[in-house]
Amino acid sequence: MNKITNHMPTAELQRLDAAHHLHPFTDHGALREKGVRVITGAEGVWLKDSEGHRILDGMAGLWCVNVGYGRDELAEAAYRQMKELPYYNTFFQTTHVPAIALSAKIAELAPGHLNHVFFASSGSEANDTNIRLVRHYWAQKGQPERQVIVARKNGYHGSSMGSASLGGMAAMHSQGGLPIPGIHHIDQPYWWGEGGEMSPEEFGIARARQLEEAIQRIGPDKVGAFIAEPVQGAGGVIVPPESYWPEIRRIVKEYGILLIADEVICGFGRTGEWFGSQGYGIEPDIMTIAKGLSSGYQPIGGSIVSDEVAETIAKDEFFHGYTYSGHPVACAVALENLRILEEEKIVERVRETTAPYLKKKWESLADHPLVGEATIRGMMASIALTPDKASRAKFASDPGTVGLICRERSFANDLVMRHVGDRMVISPPLVISQAEIDTLIERARIALDEAMEEIE
Ligand code: PLP
């Protein structure tokens, strides 16, 4: 077989892809019918495809390329580390400098008593670790019956058996016998879609109190933890009402359960703070991290745990670990990525300049006839598509039909904007310039206009 390169005709690359590559989270029928776009390179916030298009990546890949594409420093950090020590494990009684340095750096950045990192290669793995951590923690405390973890419908925590069970995605649970036992889901704090006649504040409290009701129903001696994203990402960038998190905090304290903040999207500057928890005053015992930790340049994730959790777990052996826990190349790249975020003051710039600018522009989309609400937290934002703003109505078509049309119109206009049902979401690289934000908004508006034409 000829060597397969970027220079091959697109049709040939598409043919080979269709023949051999099973894509994750993809409608394979639609893929065969419409063909796949071949991405061949990227720089800053711009992707390049095999037909020479420049596409504005409004999603930073999958919410992860926080420092943007094409950073030579990250490639060089990987190269240096591969030459020096390409792999060694951190099991039994060995360690290496990249794992030491990265865990120390994360402990420095993370708030409160979160000072210890258990490494994984993805957010899914890290959340699987969290299930085992929580259960082992309570066993060590002499309360092994505290097995249940409360999570939320329409939350996303990954795609492995454990993490997809924590997640509350109905479509995922419809396949493969999910969720696993011991996971209980409560409703999400999605006011625009589910708030009815309540004010956002009343609704936030009501949805938080579902946690208390669940604990009382299941039994306070059986519930080990509550897990949630500070702002739901893959569920459609659902920004909770301000009343939500303070009430959750009260409940977890009152019942003494562990709080897991899944910061896989929110972490490392996405919300305008180093961690989303900081903006809401959330004080987690465990934090899940991945994505922005390495800006997606290497697969790495982890669980940051408090001193108390670490001490309890470390009383004896925790029979858990991955071959690539603390992979030296991934750690070296993540460390360099954190250096870039810090030295270039990217998080501060997001908070003070970029996010306020994006907010002003994004919220202007609310005047579009198809848009019911435009919501944003830091550099993650969404709009709800609706046939009637006043009643916050849903379309008569199957959920997601209009969203898909809008996504396709967006992609055809060289903007990556994702749809979650009939919500459109963006999460651009944090380094996006104001001129690029203007382009993003222009293209989003064109996509909305074209989608409206198509459904009329
Ligand atoms: N947690 C959250 C909040 C996520 O958004 C994701 C991925 O989108 C995950 C966990 C899973 O991470 P990964 O895809 O790296 O396994």
pLDDT digits (tens, 9 = 90+) for 421-439: 999 999 999 999 999 999 9
Task: Provide the whole-model pTM.
Answer: 0.98
Residue 1 above 80 pLDDT? no
Candidates 125, 157, 263, 300: which one to mutate for ligand 1, based on the most atoms within 8 Å of Cβ? 157
Dump pLDDT digits (tens) for 109-119. Answer: 999 999 999 99
User: What is the average per-residue pLDDT within 140-163?
Assistant: 98
Candidates 121, 130, 156, 260: which one to mutate for ligand 1, based on the most atoms within 8 Å of Cβ? 156
Complex confidence, ipTM: 0.99
Report helix, strand or coil for 16: helix
**Ligand 1 binding site (Cβ under 6 Å of any ligand atom):** 62, 122-124, 127, 156-158, 229, 233-234, 262, 264-265, 288, 290, 301
In degrees, to the nearest 5, what angle opens at C-alpha 61 toward C-alphas 57 and 62?
A: 130
Percent of the chain with pLDDT over 90: 96
Dump pLDDT digits (tens) for 318-347. Answer: 999 999 999 999 999 999 999 999 999 999
User: What is the average per-residue pLDDT within 245-270?
Assistant: 98
- Contact assessment for residue 303 and residue 129, using Cβ atoms and an 8 Å cutoff: yes
Residue 32 above 90 pLDDT? no
More confidently predicted of 30 and 142 = 142
Candidates 286, 291, 300: which one to mutate for ligand 1, based on the most atoms within 8 Å of Cβ? 291
What are the helix and strand counts (H, E) for the chain?
18, 15
Indicate the pairing of strand 46-49 with strand 54-57.
antiparallel
Dump pLDDT digits (tens) for 288-307. Answer: 999 999 999 999 999 999 99
Residue 155 above 80 pLDDT? yes
Dump pLDDT digits (tens) for 367-386. Answer: 999 999 999 999 999 999 99
Q: Please, what is the average pLDDT of the chain?
A: 97
* Residue 243, number of CB atoms within 10 A of its CB: 19
pLDDT score of 35 = 84
Ligand 1, atom 12, residue with closest C-alpha: 123
With cut-offs at 50, 70 and 90, classify the pLDDT of residue 179. Answer: very high
The CA 123 to ligand 1 mean position distance, Å, reads 5
pLDDT score of 34 = 84
**The CA-based dihedral angle spanning residues 160, 166, 167, 170, taken in that order and rounded to the nearest 10 degrees:** 90
User: What is the average per-residue pLDDT within 222-234?
Assistant: 98
Atom of ligand 1 nearest to the CA of 232: 3
- Which among 219, 123, 217, 116 has a CA at the least distance from the CA of 162? 123
Measured distance CA(241)–CA(248) in Å, rounded: 12
pLDDT score of 38 = 96
Report helix, strand or coil for 394: coil
With cut-offs at 50, 70 and 90, classify the pLDDT of residue 414. Answer: very high
* Residue 54, number of CB atoms within 10 A of its CB: 12
With cut-offs at 50, 70 and 90, classify the pLDDT of residue 456. Answer: confident
The CA 237 to ligand 1 mean position distance, Å, reads 14
pLDDT score of 358 = 98
Dump pLDDT digits (tens) for 77-89. Answer: 999 999 999 999 9
Q: In whole angstroms, how far apart are CA 441 and each of 55, 168, 346?
A: 14, 31, 22
Q: Could you tell me which residues come within 8 angstroms of residue 302 by beta carbon, excluding any fewer than 6 positions away?
A: 106, 117, 118, 119, 120, 126, 288, 289, 290, 293
The CA 107 to ligand 1 mean position distance, Å, reads 21
With cut-offs at 50, 70 and 90, classify the pLDDT of residue 142. Answer: very high
pLDDT score of 197 = 96
